[in-house]
């Protein structure tokens, strides 16, 4: 018995009157949608991923894309996805993998939070003309100042442990070389160096080409320990232990052998062509005390000169876990919400496991505040931050800074088609094919990413100024400047935010 084929996801058509047969679509599509026969461009729509590469390169706007050109009988429960997944699994008997972040239609809490602005009782501040301070230090802070007093002379006794100094509270999250191309990583690295901020290496080691930007790199140590040796640890501006990831909490990762080319193999320090398997847990961390050990082990190895962050996926008990992390020598807790992106994750995890970042930030901030240790550790939020509004709201809910991932890739051309796992990214991002990778010019890519960070920074300044705040410290955890719109009481309580009008 045959299940037959499922309908097309996208239909591509060419307006033949407009088309000038420049063949850019044929050259640009790495999925093989277009081919030329007898001087005619033929189309195989079934291969299309909606990456928009052809559309963006067509000089005549001759290409049209239609999503789901074939209707199913509509049904509120048996969605198209539900039906097609079943057909897929009936055929294969396998776990379904998917790319990018959570694709289910959960309400976005950010879109139900609104920010405040001054009217009369205090003046808004114009950031174009008056000072506006976004400088953010990530790392441990003392609970109180220690000093000696000699008459009028006050001598500082507190010794600050190393902190990262950010010019703007926007960092770029961990995307490894292997998951993304070297040119993509290089673009991001140049951008963070330009904008005075930092980015993560991901669990892929550090390629030589990144060395010039190492002062802006946060080196990751994950369960696979790929690319990790003492040189790598010493190169980083900070070290991040990855426990989990918002797109797939509780499971490890596989970089398929076919993506392990010779350069990736060198950077990760693994054999060519073999799967790079990151186990689900770190096998030297089976408990919170073991985590504290690894934090100290890393600090000890690097002479206590590097801040150490710990990244966890936002899961139900995120607040208590973060409080445990804060009690170790860790300098920052990174919380990755359930909308976090990924190259590939089992779909059932991507869409069903974990909690939204908004609730996670609020819960973590509250727990740390209740325990009197909020200011002693930094909180970095990530997972679905789309614009400066999300950024401002994250900080007002209690984050010190955010990591962006998908947003920075969109600045490099990504159109969120979600086919990263296939290694054919026509934008040269999620691929190791040299002819595709070279589509990114790292100088140009860096400019776009830096533009994005710069624009959000300007907007954040404007939002703060409108709220009468001229220093980022005063926005952090300032729930008074947020109101919930159409959020239920339970969630308002978790967020510690009042309703609009209240």
Partner 1 sequence: MEVEALVIDAKGMHYTPLNRKIREAVASGVKEIILNNVLGQRFICDGLRGDVKITINGVPGGDLGMFMSGPECEIFGDAEHAPGNTMDEGTLVIHGTAGDAVAHSMRGGKVFVEKNIGYRGGIHMKEYQGKHPVLVVGGTSHAFLGEYMAGGLILVLGIGHEAAVRDRGIGSGIHGGEIVIRGDVNEKLLGVGAKKVGFTDEDLERLTPVLNEFCERFGIDPSPFLDTSYSRIIPESSRPFAGNYTWE
Partner 2 sequence: MIDRTMARMDGSSIKKALSLMDERGSGEGAGYVAYGIYPDYADCYAIHVFFDNLLEPKSMVDEILQKWGRIVHQEEIPTYEQQDLKKEHIPWRYFFKPYTDLMVGTTNPDDDNVKHLVMTINSSIEGALVFSSGMNLGVFKAAGWPEDVANFYRIEDYRGYIWLAHNRYPTNTSGWWGGAHPFNLLDWSVVHNGEITSYGTNRRYVESNGYKCTMRTDTEVVAYLFDLLGRRHGLPSELIVKALAPPFWDEIDEMPEKQEEFMRVLRLTYGPALMNGPFAIVVATKDGIVGFTDRIKLRPLVVGEHGSRLYLSSEEAAIRTMDPDVENIYMPRAGEPVIGRVLE
Interacting residue ranges for partner 1, rule: CB under 8 A: 85, 88-89, 91-92, 94-99, 223-225, 228-230, 233, 254, 256-257, 265-266, 269-271, 273-275, 277, 279, 283-284, 293, 296-297, 300-304, 346-347, 418, 421-422
Shortest spacing between CB 299 and partner 1, in angstroms: 9
Q: Which two tokens stand for residue 306?
A: 């590097």
Instruction: Name the binder of 370 from partner 2, partner 1, none, CB < 5-8 A by kind.
Output: partner 2
Cβ 468 vs Cβ 456: under 8 Å: no
State the Rg of the chain over Cα: 24
Shortest spacing between CB 233 and partner 1, in angstroms: 7
Instruction: Name the binder of 387 from partner 1, partner 2, none, CB < 5-8 A by kind.
Output: none
How distant, in Å, are the alpha carbons of 246, 319, 499 from that of 313? 4, 11, 28
Instruction: Name the binder of 87 from partner 1, partner 2, none, CB < 5-8 A by kind.
Output: none
Residues near partner 2 (CB under 8 A) are 118, 121-123, 125, 130-131, 133, 135, 137, 141-145, 149, 154, 156, 158, 160, 163, 369-372, 374-375, 396, 467-471, 473-481
- What contacts 342, CB < 8 A, 6 or more positions away? 99, 100, 101, 245, 247, 248, 350, 420
Cβ 380 vs Cβ 400: under 8 Å: yes
> Of the two residues 18 and 158, which places its CB atom closer to partner 2 in the complex?
158
> Of the two residues 301 and 437, which places its CB atom closer to partner 1 in the complex?
301
Shortest spacing between CB 111 and partner 1, in angstroms: 26
Instruction: Name the binder of 158 from partner 2, partner 1, none, CB < 5-8 A by kind.
Output: partner 2
> Of the two residues 131 and 501, which places its CB atom closer to partner 2 in the complex?
131
Shortest spacing between CB 160 and partner 2, in angstroms: 5
> Of the two residues 157 and 316, which places its CB atom closer to partner 2 in the complex?
157
Burial (CB count within 10 angstroms: exposed 0-12, middle 13-18, buried 19+), residue 427: buried
Side-chain-side CA neighbours of 501 within 13 Å: the count stands at 3
> Of the two residues 447 and 473, which places its CB atom closer to partner 2 in the complex?
473
Instruction: Name the binder of 478 from partner 2, partner 1, none, CB < 5-8 A by kind.
Output: partner 2
> Of the two residues 76 and 131, which places its CB atom closer to partner 2 in the complex?
131
Neighbouring C-beta atoms of residue 482, cutoff 10 Å: 20
User: Cα 358 from chain centroid?
Assistant: 14
Q: Which ranges of 206-317 does DSSP label H, i.e. alpha helix?
A: 230-235, 262-268, 288-301
Shortest spacing between CB 163 and partner 2, in angstroms: 7
- What contacts 128, CB < 8 A, 6 or more positions away? none
Neighbouring C-beta atoms of residue 123, cutoff 10 Å: 10
Shortest spacing between CB 472 and partner 2, in angstroms: 9
> Of the two residues 16 and 157, which places its CB atom closer to partner 2 in the complex?
157
> Of the two residues 304 and 485, which places its CB atom closer to partner 1 in the complex?
304
Neighbouring C-beta atoms of residue 161, cutoff 10 Å: 15
What distance in Å separates the CA atoms of residue 75 and residue 58, rounded to the nearest whole number?
37
Instruction: Name the binder of 300 from partner 2, partner 1, none, CB < 5-8 A by kind.
Output: partner 1
Cross-strand pairs, 289: none
Instruction: Name the binder of 156 from partner 2, partner 1, none, CB < 5-8 A by kind.
Output: partner 2
> Of the two residues 143 and 274, which places its CB atom closer to partner 1 in the complex?
274
Cβ 195 vs Cβ 167: under 8 Å: yes
Shortest spacing between CB 235 and partner 1, in angstroms: 13
Instruction: Name the binder of 34 from partner 1, partner 2, none, CB < 5-8 A by kind.
Output: none
DSSP secondary structure letter of residue 189: H
Instruction: Write phi, then psi, for 417 (nearest 5 degrees).
Output: -80, -20
């Amino acid at each position: 018995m045959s299940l037959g084929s499922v309908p097309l996801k996208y239909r591509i058509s060419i307006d033949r009157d407009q088309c000038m047969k420049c063949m850019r679509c044929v050259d640009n599509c790495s999925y093989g949608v277009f081919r030329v026969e007898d001087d005619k461009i033929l189309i195989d729509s079934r291969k299309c991923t909606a990456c928009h590469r052809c559309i963006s390169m067509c000089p005549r706007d001759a290409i049209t894309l239609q999503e789901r050109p074939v209707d199913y009988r509509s049904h509120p429960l048996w969605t198209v996805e539900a039906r097609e997944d079943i057909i897929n699994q009936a055929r294969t008997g396998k776990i379904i993998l998917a790319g990018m972040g959570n694709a289910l239609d959960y309400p976005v809490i950010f879109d139900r939070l609104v920010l405040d602005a001054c009217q009369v009782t205090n003046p808004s501040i114009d950031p174009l003309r008056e000072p506006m301070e976004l400088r953010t230090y990530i790392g441990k802070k003392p609970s109180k100042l220690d000093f000696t007093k000699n008459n009028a002379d006050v001598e500082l006794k507190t010794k600050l442990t190393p902190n990262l100094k950010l010019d703007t509270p926007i960092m770029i999250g961990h995307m490894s070389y292997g998951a993304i191309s070297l040119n993509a990583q290089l673009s991001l690295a140049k951008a963070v160096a330009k904008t005075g901020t930092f980015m993560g290496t991901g669990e892929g080691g550090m390629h030589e080409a990144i060395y010039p930007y190492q002062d802006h790199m946060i080196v990751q140590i994950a369960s696979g320990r790929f690319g990790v040796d003492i040189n790598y640890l010493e190169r980083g501006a900070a070290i991040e232990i990855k426990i989990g990831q918002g797109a797939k909490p509780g499971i490890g990762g596989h970089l398929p052998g076919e993506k392990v080319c010779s350069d990736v193999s060198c950077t990760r320090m693994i054999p060519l062509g073999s799967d790079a398997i990151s186990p689900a847990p770190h096998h030297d961390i089976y408990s919170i005390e073991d985590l504290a050990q690894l934090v100290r082990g890393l600090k000890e190895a690097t002479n206590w000169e590097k801040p150490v962050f710990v990244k966890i996926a936002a899961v139900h008990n995120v607040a208590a876990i973060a409080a445990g992390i804060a009690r170790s020598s860790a300098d920052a807790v990174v919380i990755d919400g359930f909308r976090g992106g990924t190259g590939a994750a089992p779909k059932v995890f991507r869409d069903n496991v974990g909690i939204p970042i908004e609730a996670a930030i609020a819960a973590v901030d509250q727990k740390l505040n209740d325990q009197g240790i909020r200011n002693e550790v930094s909180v970095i939020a990530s997972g679905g931050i789309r614009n400066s509004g999300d950024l401002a709201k994250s900080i007002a809910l209690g984050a010190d800074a955010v990591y962006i991932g998908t947003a920075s890739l969109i600045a490099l051309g990504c159109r969120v088609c979600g086919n990263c796992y296939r290694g054919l990214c026509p934008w040269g991002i999620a691929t190791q094919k040299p002819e595709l990778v070279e589509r990114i010019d790292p100088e140009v890519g860096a400019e776009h990413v830096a533009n994005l960070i710069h624009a959000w920074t300007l907007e954040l300044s404007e939002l703060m100024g409108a709220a009468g705040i001229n220093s980022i410290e005063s926005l952090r955890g300032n729930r008074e400047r947020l109101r919930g719109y159409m959020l239920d009481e339970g969630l308002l309580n978790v967020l510690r935010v009042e309703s609009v009008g209240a």
